[in-house]
Structure 1
Amino acid sequence: MTPLRQRMLEDMRLRNLSAETQRSYIHYVANYANHFGRSPERLGLDDIRNYQLFLVQQRQLSPESINCFLSAVQFLYTVTLDMPWSSAQFPRMKVPQKLPEVLSLDEVAALFSHIHILKHRAVLMLCYGSGLRISEAVALQAAHIDSHRMLVRVEHGKGAKDRYTVLSARLLTLLRAYWKLQRPVDYLFPGTKAGTHLQPATVREVCHQAAQMAGITKRVTPHLLRHSFATHLLENGTDTRAIQVLLGHQRIDTTARYTAVSPQTVSRLSSPLDQLPEAAPPKRKRGRPRKHPAPEPQG
């Protein structure tokens, strides 16, 4: 490990960035340096711009991925290398605002019916039944399940924030059956190595395979189950701010986009046009009789 990478890692740890963010930043910076075959200390703003163009034109990466690269190099240069550059020198790409796809209740039930390993079904049911991110679900411990108050405690979620979310009675029954069978020690869903938890990539693959077996044509991921959790709550009349708390969203407008996802919610709304008082139909104006010109005298 180079001294620069070590220093960047230390800077990220000091600022309590998540392990996933640290891996992502190191990945993008390493690819950036390898592209030019030089240390980032010997590269500058023009090189960042040229590499960004390469990612857009040659690699054809998504705007989200390119913005992740920009966040990584902005941290490297402004924090670790202490360059006097402003955020305006790292212009972000505009990300298209797409509505998240969701599953119907029947599709969710069909998906779970094709997940036969208890551990995998429990993890994915947490994503749907409690609205957890996959990284939050795999990192749960038994102590985070509060069966008395029917709550799930999420520690160090996105933004290093703790929160509570709902615990389904059906999910609690499944978790108790899983606990009796597995008796996990550290994490509720342990990985193959001692002291590790189940990897999100493994759960994503299980989710994908179950969706194929269920005949679901949508691109099903654990995060899609989280979207479906929020949308179905909204359709049941749950207040948007309550959903915001359950999901751990910092901003209400992030949660509000689920209003646009739910056709049922939109269809219950009435147009203000229907609230206008009925007006009498306009009367037709009677036109004045046309004056015919007097006949010209003959001879």
Structure 2
Amino acid sequence: MIGLQFHPDKVIQALIKELPNPKWSAAFSMVYIINTKENLDIVFNKFRGIAWVNGNSFFKEKVIRDNEPVDINWYRNRSKTTSYRYVPETYLVKLELKRYALNTCKTYISQFEKFINHYPDKDIITLSEQEIRGYLQHLIRQNKSNSYINQAINSIKFYYEVVMGMPNRFYSIERPRKEQKLPQVLSKEEIRSIIANTNNIKHRCIVSLLYSSGLRRSELLDLKLTDIDSKRMLVHIRNAKNNKDRYSLLSEKVVKDLRIYYRQWKPKAYLFESPNGMKYSGKSVGAIVVRAATKASIKRKVTPHILRHSFATHLLESGTDLRYIQTLLGHSSTRTTEIYTQVAINKFKAIKNPLDE
């Protein structure tokens, strides 16, 4: 059954009478209706705009991810001003308990603070769906990308639905249509030129590994010395996106460079470390790629992720089965990997252009 508890209110009582066959339970001191998906939808639709629905007692928590603890104390320890509204402590606690990835935490906190500072004089809990829509329209007028707007929606949903326990609060909040952009890909010659234009052996290994193993930037930074298996010629990627471990390819050329790098730089735990022995920063990796691409006279903007796209596309062009590419990239579905079929040029080359006939 779906049990309904509420503070005495004539409007709510009148709406409850309109629910399908409501009954009173003396044992639990609450009204109840049969638990079906249709009835659950009716409850949320009936009280939308009238009352918040707290489903903590009804909905089961999602399984907590098995990630390492995330340190977001920096957000607690920031120097604060009275003119700015900061994310509530309950928000930070829930992010920690859910063990969201650090990048996700940063995005959610930043986006939610922008939202609550858009309404500086209103209590967060009193904001309605209409006001949330007003904020999203404000972002659209600022020409924010669809991805940015979806991040804003996710951060707001997290507060009301996860922190405050009010599921399905956003049934009718419209999301932007998903953009279908093709991945940018470099040629093999451009990749070789970028690698050749790195400043030192450490930078060379970073760029080479991003491409030759199809790594995400965060995956590269999380690599430990023990994750390089030169006997089986594999890279072990641990606890990557969606908490999945996987193996990817290890290039023989990269192994030779890594041995030289190890003798010169002597990393202790992580494969790539900062001068103080901590994990290398993502910003530094991005700067290394951009600098090498500029020196290689590549006019397009080059990011670490473009190297990953190029890895997948070049494998597909060389005849590698799509399912193997899916495994190497760590995609949950081949549908994600199939996008590379639209940029692989080997099939296009086989087509005779009608103008050339």
TM-score of the alignment, normalized to the shorter chain, above 0.5: yes
Match of 1:255 among 323, 337, 348: 337
In the superposition, relative to structure 1, how do residues 114 and 40 fare at CA in structure 2: closer, same or farther (>3 Å)? Answer: farther
Q: Give runs of aligned pairs for residues 62-211 of structure 1, distance below 5 A.
A: 62-194=145-277, 196-211=278-293
SS in 2 for 1:148: coil
Which runs of at least 4 in structure 1 moved beyond 6 Å after TM superposition? none
Q: Give runs of aligned pairs for residues 46-57 of structure 1, distance below 5 A.
A: 46-57=130-141
CA contact 1:74–1:90 (8 Å) conserved in 2: no
SS in 1 for 2:214: coil
1:41 aligns with 2:125: yes
Whole-angstrom CA distance in 2 between matches of 1:61 and 1:192: 37
* Larger Rg belongs to: 1
Whole-angstrom CA distance in 1 between matches of 2:175 and 2:291: 35
AA partner of residue 117 (structure 2): N
AA partner of residue 223 (structure 1): H
Instruction: Please provide the CA RMSD for this pair.
Output: 2.0
AA partner of residue 206 (structure 1): I
* Larger RCO, structures 1/2 (Cα 8 Å, 6+ apart): 1
CA contact 1:249–1:255 (8 Å) conserved in 2: yes
SS in 1 for 2:88: helix
SS in 2 for 1:89: coil
CA contact 1:234–1:265 (8 Å) conserved in 2: no
In the superposition, relative to structure 1, how do residues 111 and 3 fare at CA in structure 2: closer, same or farther (>3 Å)? Answer: closer
Percentage identity across paired residues of the two chains: 36
In the superposition, relative to structure 1, how do residues 180 and 26 fare at CA in structure 2: closer, same or farther (>3 Å)? Answer: same
Whole-angstrom CA distance in 2 between matches of 1:31 and 1:3: 9
Please state how far the C-alpha of 1:29 moved relative to its aligned partner.
Answer: 0.5
Please state how far the C-alpha of 1:161 moved relative to its aligned partner.
Answer: 1.1
Gaps of 5+ in 2: 1-75, 77-84, 353-357
Q: Give runs of aligned pairs for residues 216-255 of structure 1, distance below 5 A.
A: 216-255=298-337
SS in 1 for 2:116: helix
The alignment covers a number of residue pairs equal to 269
Once the two structures are overlaid, the 10-residue window that deviates more, 159-168 or 79-88, is: 79-88
SS in 2 for 1:152: strand
In the superposition, relative to structure 1, how do residues 212 and 22 fare at CA in structure 2: closer, same or farther (>3 Å)? Answer: same
Q: Deviations over 1:58-102 (max 9, x none)?
A: x21110111111111111110001124345333221132111110
TM-score, length-scaled by structure 1: 0.84
Please state how far the C-alpha of 1:245 moved relative to its aligned partner.
Answer: 0.4
Gaps of 5+ in 1: 271-299
In the superposition, relative to structure 1, how do residues 30 and 252 fare at CA in structure 2: closer, same or farther (>3 Å)? Answer: same
Whole-angstrom CA distance in 2 between matches of 1:187 and 1:5: 34
TM-score, length-scaled by structure 2: 0.71
